[in-house]
Amino acid sequence: MGNLASFFFVQVDQSTVAIKEKFGKFDDVLEPGCHFLPWYLGSRIAGHLTLRLQQLDVRCETKTKDNVFVNVVASIQYRALADKASDAFYRLSNTKSQIQAYVFDVIRASVPKLNLDDVFEQKTQIAKAVEDELAKAMFAYGYEIVQTLIVDIEPDERVKKAMNEINAAARLRVAANEKAEAEKIVQIKRAEGDAESKYLSGLGIARQRQAIVDGLRDSVLGFSVNVPGTSAKDVLDMVMVTQYFDTMKEIGASSKSSAVFIPHGPGAVRDVAGQIRDGLLQGSVHQDHKLL
């Protein structure tokens, strides 16, 4: 009984339809399930057609507007329409070859109008053009184009290397500009700090000298009052001698001092004091002429 049933019944799987013929002519599309098939009346199954979503990757080589050869990889997602199953089964002998031919036609018509950089930027528009052309053509054969994607654009290896070098050079140029700008800021800040340091150092030296002058004046006045018969010149000579010996002591005590040759003796001290006094007098006279 089971063997007899196998001659009269046929099973169609889910997401699949069967094409039924009668004496070699299309008769019906059988949906998923179990169907009676009286073979003795000329009925038979010509074939099955899947309704599942399928994907076809197409690699197309073409040339851009700026004469760069690229390989464009398009991914086509398509499926047969259940209500047009007979067209999908009978009208195309090789569905994938047909889709590939349309993809080649659209890509080789679109990409040569664009430069290489524009191809990368406009790959969505290229995919849309391929999808529109395929959807219009394949619908007549019972197929639906669900989605078209441009998944890869591959220039020649030498072109990719050149593009990477251009990009690297541009980044190095930006980095060099940023480094130079940073060094410029550091130098400006260092100069500003040096100027401020010198300004403050000058103020300190001026205040130090003012303090020395004030101290000498008070010392001269105090010494003249406490020691009768001494003049300001005598006091200054004594201060000069004291300063002279302090200087000699500092030079001798410093471990980093170089050899210094200076006249030494009471006469030398007198000469130094005379030179300082002459300088002060000349400066005073010059200042008086400027005021006049």
> What was the pLDDT predicted at 2?
45
CA-based nearest residue to 64, from 123, 129, 147, 127: 123
Angle CA 233–235–236, to nearest 5: 65
> What was the pLDDT predicted at 261?
57
> What was the pLDDT predicted at 76?
92
Q: 279 to each of 62, 208, 238, 270, 274, how far by Cα in Å? A: 93, 20, 18, 14, 9
Across the chain, which has 292 residues, the per-10-residue mean pLDDT values are: 59 89 87 85 87 92 88 92 90 88 91 89 91 90 92 82 76 84 88 86 80 71 68 67 70 63 59 60 54 55
Under a CB-based contact definition with an 8 Å cutoff, are residues 40 and 71 in contact?
A: no
Under a CB-based contact definition with an 8 Å cutoff, are residues 77 and 151 in contact?
A: no
> What was the pLDDT predicted at 193?
87
